[in-house]
Amino acid sequence: MALYLFGSVFIVLLAGYPVAFSLAGTALVFAFIGEWSGTFDAAFLQALPNRLYGIMTNETLVAVPLFVFMGVMLERSRIAENLLETIAGMFGRIRGGLGFSVTLVGMLLAASTGIVGATVVTMGLLSLPTMLKRGYDPRLATGTICASGTLGQIIPPSIVLVLLGDVLSSAYQQAQLSQGIFSPKTVSVGDLFAGALLPGLLLVGLYLGYLVLVSLLRPAAMPIPRDEAQDRRSGLDALHALLAPLLLILAVLGSILGGLATPTEAASVGAVGAMLLAAVRRQLRGSVLREVVRSTLKVSSMVFLILIGASVFSLVFRGFGGDILIEDLLTQLPGGVFGALLAVMLAMFLLGFVLDFIEITFVVVPIVGPILLAMGLDPVWLGIMIAINLQTSFLTPPFGFALFYLRGVAPAEVTTADIYRGVMPFIVIQLIALGLLALWPSLATWLPQQLYPG
């Protein structure tokens, strides 16, 4: 019944029904069938009110609407446009300078907003027409934008890491309790933020290294700008455009990593800071504020409704013994811990074609997380591996979400085949980064251990 439940949810999702209602509705239908057939104990559903109350009173999850508000406000205040123009001007007449600037702006937007879809769409609207106008290869241009736009998955403050941190914290405690450890250690969102910093910067460095290689081997794909006057920017212009966003990033990330504030408190600082930036740029009008609040409400409602649906699903799934079934399956795979981890990563990669990171985080991670963590895996390392894996999945044709985001705003002369071929080298880079992290877990664990030695 647990496997039938899992398969039925995917059929309903592929039919196009809303995710939250598909998860909760299918689970409740199976619960009634299971009670009628004697394969499900309805007493499991009595835990549902406590679960929903726990979601409503979870202070960590309050960071989600605050980070969403911060990201949408920065998007509406034209921060991205100013950053792109300024950094492109700083590179001047360097071959590939616009490609480098797109990657660096993607990194800064990821650290400012943490919203993948918004970053890809914003970069596509602002930079793709300019790159094509200056003679960039459409495949290189679209690949660079998609890859840099998905950095919001891994570079903190990422909403993915906020949600993963909350889910992994529960999974880690559950894994320790199953091992007879009744004073369990905890893992926090701050741990994941610290753990993601070096792998995120590694990805940026690999992207830039690839662009340098292309500029040397295929110079025609990255022409030098013809109009020098258009590309030069003074140091004061650069300082003016970069100072405020960098200060905001430093205030949010620095307060979390330095232990001065919780992620929720830092998110509130970011939201207020984004409003101040918009006010300074004279963009904080009533119409803009209404649009930002509505967008924040829509995204936050979607996240929490999916979380409620996933709670119902996981409760019924466990009631059918699905967690025991998955545990038996993973522990009996050849290769031990490595085989189990490889199977889970492959399954999440494939699920990323049809599910968003929110559904995977709330549905899949609570099921497999306690099992993998009970095998001795580090929770921070596992969380970063999952985040990079999902980021790779979102870039992979033909179903990658980032590809759909860019296709929706790309000019007509850019074909879907251009986008698909353009992201291929960056997928290879993602897999290299994932392999390096698997070989050297200290890439994710070293900084949290230095910042939080206890």
Lowest mean pLDDT among 82-91, 111-120, 133-142, 321-330: 111-120
Residue 382 has pLDDT above 90, yes or no: yes
Encoding tokens for residue 416? Answer: 């879907």
Q: Looking at this protein, which amino acid is placed at residue 95? A: R
Mean of per-residue pLDDT scores for the chain: 83
Residue 165 has pLDDT above 80, yes or no: yes
Helix (H) or strand (E) holding 438: helix 416-439
Q: Please report, for residues 153, 182, 282, 423, 434, the alpha-carbon distance to residue 376 in angstroms, rounded to integers and kept in the order given.
A: 25, 16, 52, 35, 19
Encoding tokens for residue 363? Answer: 């549905």
Mean per-residue pLDDT, 168-190: 82
> What is the predicted pLDDT for the residue at 231?
47
Mean per-residue pLDDT, 325-333: 82
User: Which among 89, 12, 26, 73 is positioned nearest to 316, based on CA atoms?
Assistant: 26
Alpha carbon distance 427, 278 (integer Å): 35
- pLDDT per residue over 82-109, tens digit each? 777 777 777 767 787 888 888 888 888 7
User: Which among 375, 342, 366 is positioned nearest to 176, based on CA atoms?
Assistant: 375
- pLDDT per residue over 38-92, tens digit each? 888 888 888 888 888 888 888 878 888 888 888 788 777 777 677 777 777 777 6
Highest mean pLDDT, choosing among 250-254, 398-402, 420-424 = 420-424
pTM for the complete prediction?
0.82
Q: How confident is the model at residue 454 (pLDDT cuts 50, 70, 90)?
A: low
Asked whether the beta carbons of 60 and 264 are under 8 A apart, the reply is yes
Mean per-residue pLDDT, 411-418: 85
Asked whether the beta carbons of 249 and 113 are under 8 A apart, the reply is no
Residue 194 Cα to chain centre, angstroms: 15
Q: Residue 150 burial (CB < 10 Å; 0-12/13-18/19+)?
A: buried
Give the single-character DSSP code of 43. G
